[in-house]
Amino acid sequence: MQLFPMTAKGIESRRRGQVLVGPIDLTLDGTGACVVVGPNGAGKTTLLRLLHGTARLSAGQINWACPTDEARHHQGFVFQRPVMLRRTVLQNLIYPLRLRGVPLAQARDRARDWAARVGLADMLDRAAPVLSGGEQQKLALARALISEPKVLFLDEPCAALDGRATREIEEILTHAKSTGTRLILSTHDMGQARRLADQVLFLLGGRIHESGPAETFFNRPETPQARAFLRGDIVE
Ligand SMILES: Nc1ncnc2c1ncn2[C@@H]1O[C@H](COP(=O)(O)OP(=O)(O)OP(=O)(O)O)[C@@H](O)[C@H]1O
């Protein structure tokens, strides 16, 4: 199943007649990590939700290379604050596989394998809500990746985590990227953006202000606003 290229044309999100995001035109191919950056309120979360299909388009259209329902089936989303089932780590990992009809024994094996990959092998029987923030986020990532999505959206996945947990999450993401999962991720952490990004979308006021290869954006930003943002100045 081929999801990419994905093309967004004139997409907008409006509330009470006010444009929050857009109009945005965007084409994404199928490899690497696209990192969405920009100041608070620039529209990062809203853009991710529009692309993922969990926020309603007020205008425009999004076309995947396959029927939209099929594309949705191959997508995952990881939130800033993980949403856990109030069950064990193992049950949290088994759940998405069972929803997809994977037989229980096979689902258990894959769940154990993924728990080990993210360093939660010793916590399989622990209740997910009592895990630390970093452990919960690793579980959320494993739960998203266990279904082998072709594209994974992540909204500030490390915002509440310390350096070590962030590094562990980034290692998992780098590995997912290398095995062909397309990442579309928002972050406030410019260090993280530099470490992970292949492409950058710089949002300002709900629009794409600058976009392109990460190397170009970080080393030769084109606009004064992007230069100011990278310096850490306040940009509105
Ligand atoms: N449900 C909503 N109702 C009204 N306005 C909203 C709603 N959701 C978002 N907005 C507004 O849309 C704009 C974009 O918000 P969004 O959360 O997408 O930005 P962001 O770049 O993710 O911000 P942050 O970095 O602070 O998380 C903001 O001005 C926000 O106040």
Going across the sheet that includes 18-28, the strands are 18-28, 6-15, 59-63
| Residue owning the nearest CA to atom 24 of ligand 1 | 40
- Ligand 1 in reach of 187 Cβ (< 6 A): no
Residue 124 carries which side chain, given as an amino acid letter? L
Burial of residue 27 (CB within 10 Å: 0-12, 13-18, 19+) is: exposed
Asked if pLDDT for residue 36 goes beyond 90, the answer is yes
Specify whether the CB–CB gap between 65 and 144 falls below 8 A: no
Ligand 1 within 6 A of CB of 43: yes
Q: Is 30 in the pocket of ligand 1 (CB under 6 A)?
A: no
Residues forming a β-bridge with 47: none
pLDDT at 30: 85
| Residue 67 half-sphere exposure toward CB, CA atoms < 13 A | 3
Q: Model pTM? A: 0.95
Site to substitute for ligand 1 among 11, 13, 14, 46, most atoms within 8 A of C-beta:
46
8-12, 117-121, 160-164, 224-228: least confident range: 160-164
Residue 143 CB–ligand 1 contact under 6 Å: no
Q: Rounded to 5 degrees, what angle do the CA atoms 44, 32, 231 make?
A: 50
Instruction: Give the pLDDT mean for 20-37.
Output: 95
User: If residue 10 lies in a helix (H) or strand (E), which one and from where to where?
Assistant: strand 6-15
- Domain boundaries of the chain, sorted by first residue: 6-81+147-158+184-231
**For residue 152, which amino acid is it?**
L
Say yes or no: CB of residue 41 within 6 Å of ligand 1.
Answer: yes
Is 191's pLDDT higher than 90?
A: yes
Give yes or no for residue 67 having a pLDDT over 90. Answer: yes
Q: Are 46 and 55 in contact (CB under 8 A)?
A: yes
| Mean pLDDT for the stretch of residues 90-112 | 96
pLDDT, position 202: 98
- 211: tokens are 């976009």
Q: Evaluate: CB of 40 within 6 angstroms of ligand 1.
A: yes
Give 5's contacts (C-beta < 8 A, 6+ positions apart). 27, 28, 29, 30, 65
- The Cβ of residue 10 has, within 10 Å, a number of other Cβ atoms equal to 12
% of the chain residues with pLDDT over 70:
100
Question: Which residues partner with 26 through β-bridges?
Answer: 8
234 pLDDT higher than 90: no
**Would the pLDDT of 81 be above 90?**
no
Q: Is the CB of 24 under 6 A from ligand 1?
A: no
**pLDDT above 90 for 83:** no
3-class DSSP state for residue 226? helix
Which residue from 137, 104, 138 is spatially nearest to 121, judged by alpha carbons?
Answer: 138
Nearest CA to ligand 1 atom 31: 41
Of 3.40.50.300, 3.30.230.10, 3.40.50.1950, 3.30.500.10, which CATH number belongs to 6-81+147-158+184-231?
3.40.50.300
Beta carbon of 38 within 6 Å of any ligand 1 atom: yes
Q: Can you tell me the mean pLDDT for 127-131?
A: 94
23: confidence class by pLDDT, cuts 50, 70, 90: very high
Return the residue whose CA atom lies nearest to atom 26 of ligand 1. Answer: 40
Task: Judge contact between 139 and 82, C-beta under 8 A.
Answer: yes
Phi and psi at residue 120, to the nearest 5°: -115, 20
Task: Return the pLDDT at 194.
Answer: 97
Q: Which residues of 133-166 are buried (b: 16+ CB within 10 A; e: fewer)?
A: ebbbbbbbbbbbbbbebbbbbbbbbbbebeeebb
